[in-house]
């Protein structure tokens, strides 16, 4: 609406400007004024000396003849020419209207002159409007051409390969970078054949690795070309460096996890081989000393208490070593290791392990990732959630391992924990670690929780089975562990 108003105001300004600035520098304009002068003079002579012509000569003809020069002025100069010529004719006609005894035929002349003036203004206005419309159309065409020229220059000079695909899914245009990447004969080929049988439109936003070894993200932009015609512009954004940075970061994270697990394995072995054995030997020596003859009863009691303390320390060391690297994970597989992990939970809690699907041995990295995710989820639930009921669901699928740990604890604000500093929130660090572990294997991890609504941690990791896992060894676990095996 504002644009239309501005156009109307501009047209009005142009009209006033044109009326006040007639083409006085044009010789043809002055020829028209001379013709008007001749017509007015003839009419004046006819009125003053009617005997010069026959009585049948129409008195209004000279006035009507003014339409010819005024109309020509309108056609050639627009409103400026017609209005100036009409004003000139009016000024020249005034003496004729002042003749005495109605010799000037005031009534007829005034009426005819008014019609001539009206024609001059209307005709000039119409012509001027058409001229302005034509000028606007020309300006719009010029702007469109300039935009198209600029786009074409940008299209041709852009180093990013660009394809234009029409509604028939044929390549209608390609810039030099695209021809250099995909071959010179692109125009006319289907979009499906351009990139080795890949449907470009269906993979918008995805990253493809092309024959030159570079990674390209397909950015597809839809461009309407008419009421029922669409074109797609496909930009091949080179993200090789970005992807290489991600791969380096992924390899670095994998290396860190591998080093961490190696350290855990070595520390667990060292705890089992040295301190644990020392405490067990100490307990055995204390037991032998307590059975010696002649040892006072109070000393026997002290030796017994020291023996129990040594055994407790050995049990704690054994638990720490098992948490660092559970032997069942390497020897028996994921399901038995999780059964042992769940069995160590406080008996006062309702904790159950549910295994679904045919349990098979998986790749070591997958089994370790699944175990660590469940271990961290249980640790967070018991440490921060204060639950009464915990369920660990493990589903061995044909192509994915699904893990879900749910509890009825106090829950937490997931988004708030995500934005808190890792130094202040160990839970967020655990969540980051679980997500990173799942991501490194191409999996996903999601967390649903709310204050007072419990927590559900769900992970899905792609797998490749190796050998069957002996589930019989965990079928008869403690009372707080339930194992359900479904084929």
Evaluate whether 355 touches 485 at the Cβ level (below 8 Å). Answer: yes
Q: Tell me the DSSP string of 200-232.
A: TGGGTT-EEE-TTS-EEEEEEEEEE-SSS-EEE
390 φ, ψ (degrees, to nearest 5): -135, 135
Mean pLDDT, residues 429-454 taken together: 86
Do residues 198 and 260 both lie within one domain? no
Residue 414 domain-assigned? Answer: yes
Do residues 255 and 312 both lie within one domain? yes
Rg (CA), the chain: 48
Do residues 400 and 441 both lie within one domain? yes
Q: What is the predicted pLDDT for the residue at 330?
A: 79
For residue 116, the tally of other CB atoms under 10 A from its CB is 21
Lowest mean pLDDT among 44-48, 99-103, 331-335, 471-475: 471-475
Lowest mean pLDDT among 11-15, 85-89, 479-483: 479-483
> What value, to the nearest 5°, has the Cα angle with vertex 91 and ends 43 and 121?
95
pLDDT: which is higher, 387 or 475:
387
Of 149, 181, 209, the last residue of a domain is 149
Report d(CA 427, CA 412) in Å as an integer: 10
CATH code of residue 382:
3.30.565.10
CATH code of residue 212:
3.30.450.20
Q: What is the predicted pLDDT for the residue at 112?
A: 66
Asked whether the predicted pLDDT for residue 128 surpasses 80, the reply is no
Do residues 138 and 45 both lie within one domain? yes
Token code pair at residue 389: 């009921």
Do residues 49 and 39 both lie within one domain? yes
Q: How far is CA 234 from CA 79, 197, 207, 210, 242, in A?
A: 51, 16, 13, 15, 20
Asked whether the predicted pLDDT for residue 326 surpasses 60, the reply is yes
Residue 154 domain-assigned? Answer: no
For residue 9, what are the contacts with CB-CB under 8 A and spacing of at least 6?
A: none
| Angle, helices 364-380/426-440, rounded to nearest 10 degrees | 160
Do residues 125 and 167 both lie within one domain? no
31 SS3 class: helix
pLDDT: which is higher, 459 or 254:
459
pLDDT tens digits for range 226-277: 555 678 888 888 888 887 777 777 777 767 777 777 777 777 777 767 777 8
Residue 404 domain-assigned? Answer: yes
Token code pair at residue 319: 């638990």
pLDDT: which is higher, 63 or 205:
205
Do residues 289 and 192 both lie within one domain? no
| Type and span of the H or E element at 137 | helix 106-157
> What value, to the nearest 5°, has the Cα angle with vertex 177 and ends 173 and 183?
70
Token code pair at residue 32: 């028209």
Do residues 414 and 378 both lie within one domain? yes
Residue 168 domain-assigned? Answer: yes
Residue 11 domain-assigned? Answer: yes
Report d(CA 39, CA 312) in Å as an integer: 132
Residue 315 domain-assigned? Answer: yes
Asked whether the predicted pLDDT for residue 403 surpasses 90, the reply is yes
Of 149, 180, 202, the last residue of a domain is 149
Of 325, 347, 367, the last residue of a domain is 325
SS3 of 234-250: the string is EEEEECHHHHHHHHHHH
Report d(CA 140, CA 132) in Å as an integer: 12
Do residues 321 and 414 both lie within one domain? no
Q: What is the predicted pLDDT for the residue at 16?
A: 57
Asked whether the predicted pLDDT for residue 29 surpasses 70, the reply is yes
Residues pairing with 232 in the sheet = 165, 222
Token code pair at residue 24: 């006085």
Residue ranges making up the domain that contains 24:
2-149
Do residues 485 and 430 both lie within one domain? yes
Q: What is the predicted pLDDT for the residue at 392?
A: 93
Do residues 90 and 167 both lie within one domain? no
Question: pTM (2 decimals)?
Answer: 0.52
Asked whether the predicted pLDDT for residue 117 surpasses 50, the reply is yes
pLDDT tens digits for range 36-82: 888 777 777 766 665 555 555 555 456 677 778 877 787 787 777 77
Helices and strands, counts by H and E, the chain: 16, 10
Mean pLDDT, residues 318-336 taken together: 79
Q: Rounded mean pLDDT of the chain?
A: 76
Domain count, the chain: 4
Do residues 253 and 333 both lie within one domain? no
């Amino acid at each position: 609406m504002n644009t239309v108003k501005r156009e109307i105001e501009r047209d009005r300004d142009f009209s006033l400007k044109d009326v006040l600035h007639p083409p006085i520098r044009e010789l043809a304009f002055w020829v028209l004024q001379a013709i008007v002068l001749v017509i007015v003079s003839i009419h004046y002579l006819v009125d003053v000396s009617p005997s010069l012509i026959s009585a049948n000569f129409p008195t209004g003809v000279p006035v009507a003849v003014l339409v010819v020069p005024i109309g020509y002025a309108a056609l050639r100069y627009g409103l400026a020419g017609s209005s100036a010529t009409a004003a000139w004719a009016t000024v020249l006609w005034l003496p004729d209207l002042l003749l005495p005894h109605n010799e000037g035929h005031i009534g007829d002349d005034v009426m005819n002159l008014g019609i001539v003036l009206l024609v001059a203004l209307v005709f000039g206005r119409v012509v001027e409007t058409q001229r302005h419309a034509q000028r606007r159309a020309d300006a719009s065409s010029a702007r469109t051409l300039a935009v198209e020229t600029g786009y074409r220059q940008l299209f041709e000079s852009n180093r990013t390969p660009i394809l234009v695909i029409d509604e028939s899914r044929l390549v209608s245009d390609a810039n030099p970078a695209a021809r250099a990447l995909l071959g010179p004969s692109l125009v006319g080929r289907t979009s499906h054949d351009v990139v080795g049988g890949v449907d470009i439109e269906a993979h918008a936003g995805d990253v493809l690795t092309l024959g030159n070894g570079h990674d390209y993200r397909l950015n597809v932009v839809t461009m309407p070309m008419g009421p029922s015609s669409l074109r797609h512009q496909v930009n091949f954004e080179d993200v090789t460096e970005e992807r290489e940075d991600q791969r380096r970061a992924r390899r670095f994270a994998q290396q860190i996890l591998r080093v961490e697990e190696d350290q855990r394995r070595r520390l667990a072995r060292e705890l089992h081989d040295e301190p644990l054995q020392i405490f067990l030997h100490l307990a055995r020596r204390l037991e032998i000393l307590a059975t010696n003859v002649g040892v006072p009863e109070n000393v026997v009691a002290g030796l017994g208490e020291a023996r129990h303390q040594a055994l407790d320390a050995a049990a704690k060391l054994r638990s720490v070593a098992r948490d660092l690297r559970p032997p069942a994970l390497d020897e028996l597989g994921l399901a038995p290791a999780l059964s042992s992990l769940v069995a160590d939970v406080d008996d006062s809690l309702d904790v159950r392990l549910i295994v679904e699907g045919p349990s098979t041995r998986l790749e070591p990295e997958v089994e370790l990732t699944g175990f660590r995710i469940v271990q961290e989820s249980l640790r967070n639930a018991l440490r921060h959630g204060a639950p009464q009921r915990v369920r660990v669901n493990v589903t061995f699928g044909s192509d994915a391992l699904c893990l879900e740990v749910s509890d009825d604890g106090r829950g937490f604000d997931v988004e708030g924990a995500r934005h808190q500093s890792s130094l202040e929130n160990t839970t967020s660090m655990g969540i980051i670690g679980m997500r990173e572990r799942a991501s490194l294997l191409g999996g996903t991890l999601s967390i649903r929780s709310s204050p007072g609504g419990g927590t559900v941690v769900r992970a899905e990791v792609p797998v490749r089975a190796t050998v069957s896992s002996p589930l019989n060894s965990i079928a008869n676990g403690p009372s707080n562990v339930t194992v359900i095996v479904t084929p």
